[in-house]
Structure formats: C-alpha cells, structure tokens
Amino acid sequence: MSDLAWQQQLHNPNSPPLLMGILNVTPDSFSDGGRHFTPASALAQAQLMVEQGASILDVGGESTRPGALPVNDPEQLRRVLPVLLALRAKLPAAIALSIDTRSAIVARAALDAGAQIINDVSGGRDHGLLELAAAKQACVVLMHMQGEPATMQLAPRYEDVVGEVLAFLLSAAAAAEQCGVPRERILIDPGIGFGKTREHNLRLLAALPQFANAGYALMLGTSRKRFMGAICRETAFTALVGATCATTALGVAAGVRVFRVHDVQANRQALEVAWAIGQSHA
C-alpha cells in the first residue's frame, strides 16, 4: 500500500473502511493514560496495532477526556514529537500518522515530523489550523464538541442534537474548504461523548447514515466510551470492547469510513464481518 493508498481506500465505496489506532502519550487519558508514555512503549503498541490491522495511528499529547484541562504547546510537543519521529522511522510508509491536537503550533511540528492527518476535536475553531492543513496538503478531521473538555459534560443540551451537530460539521467543513483544504482531505466526526448525554449519543449513532451521506468521509470514535458502560452495566473501560465492536458493525452498515479505536484486533473482526454481510447483497 503506497502512502496515498489509504486516502484512495477512504473514498472508495467498494473498499472496506479503515481502522485508526489510538496512541495516547499522556498520563491522564480516560482509559489508557500513562500506558504508552515513553517512545519505546508507544512504538511497541503502534507496531502491535499495525499488525492487527490499523492503517492509521492517531498520536495525542493532550487528554480530552471529560474534565481534562488544556496542555500547553511545549508540553504537547515534548510528548508527541519523539514518538512521531520514531514511528515514521520504524513503520512502513503506508501507515498514516495522525496528530490529535487543537493547536496549530503542535500540528505544524507534527506534520514536519511525518504526520499526514490533523485530528481536531474542536472542529476547526482555529482557522490557522485549517490554513496549515491546506498549506501542508494534510487531511483534517473535524469533530463536534459542545464546550471544552473541562466543562463539556456539565449538563449538555440541544434542541435537535442530530440537526445541530450535522449543521456544525457542515459549516466547519465549508470553512476548511474556504481555507483551501480540498473536500477529499476533509473528514467529519459527530464527537460521540464530547458534550453529549447518553441519549444524545444514541440518537447520533442512530443517525449515522445522515452524516455518512453529507458529502464528506465520516469518522466514528466510540471506543470504550462511558455511555456504553452505563448501558452494559460495566464500570471498567477495558470491559467495553464488545460494546465498541457493536457500534463498529453498526457504523460499517451506515457508511462510516474510519473507526478510531483502542482495541484494533477485535474491531477489525467486527468491521470485516459487517463488511462481508453488506457486500453479500450489494
């Protein structure tokens, strides 16, 4: 697979969706904080996820879990740059690297270190980040989040969660295009768990086909999210692999093109079976 093959697969409806492995190099992420905090442990986890089927690795140096406080640019850079450089040196060129950040400064350094995707949970609120993506010919993921991580789960409210989230994402994507990012390099993400109640999350998941048909590649991130634990009566995040796989299978049928997950192997199985079922009557 060439370094552009994942982009071609992203937009090919006859190709299965892609898996993005989550690689948090933070001490406080909600389910894996501190586990991959050194370049060596991060590289080992990255190699495992690639072996299990990840086409993209998403490296983040700032936790955006509910209640998390911002991490300044120098500290994010200290965390992510050694990891990105090690990944780019050791992994095949076919594996895409993504930087999970809201900072244009961090994103620029990450792109210079070999990343090709900016995963922006703020949905392009900083147009400097969109202009950077255009200048560097990078892909950008635009996610919906109500409020900020520190406060987003304090009684989030919507009149029409599906309509409001979709309208935000379409506006953000249009802004990215106006900044010079081509449509084929833009992904949208409804932001499951980011300023949403359990009912909001369920409504968004039920409406995934609307997002998939909005004209942009759709990414979904439900991995180990707390709202599923409440449904399944599980308190441990690591016990939610099966719950995550259920949303992956649903997402494949709905037209999601990228799944951002912690547990690559299990979700690859869910993806491949759901894809095969869909293809059997295509």
Give, in degrees to the nearest 5, the angle at Cα 212 between 48 and 195.
75
Nearest to 249 by CA among 225, 231, 222, 227: 222
Of the candidates 225, 226, 257, 268, the residue annotated as catalytic is 225
78: Cβ contacts below 8 Å, ≥ 6 apart? 61
What angle in degrees, to the nearest 10, is found between the helix axes of 104-112 and 73-90? 20
Nearest to 107 by CA among 145, 138, 86: 138
Q: What is the dihedral of CA 233, 239, 245, 248, to 10 degrees?
A: 80
> Which one-letter amino acid corresponds to residue 22?
I
In the residue annotation, 260 being an active-site residue is answered as yes
Of the candidates 102, 226, 260, 268, the residue annotated as catalytic is 260
Structure tokens at 64: 């955006």
Structure tokens at 105: 């400064």
257: Cβ contacts below 8 Å, ≥ 6 apart? 10, 11, 17, 18, 187, 212, 217, 218, 219
In the residue annotation, 79 being an active-site residue is answered as no
Structure tokens at 67: 């209640």
User: Are 169 and 214 a contacting pair, CB within 8 Å?
Assistant: yes
Say how far apart CA 28 and CA 83 lie, in whole Å.
17
Give residue 25's Cα distance to chain centre: 15
Of the chain, the end-to-end C-alpha distance in Å amounts to: 25
What residues are labeled active site? 225, 260
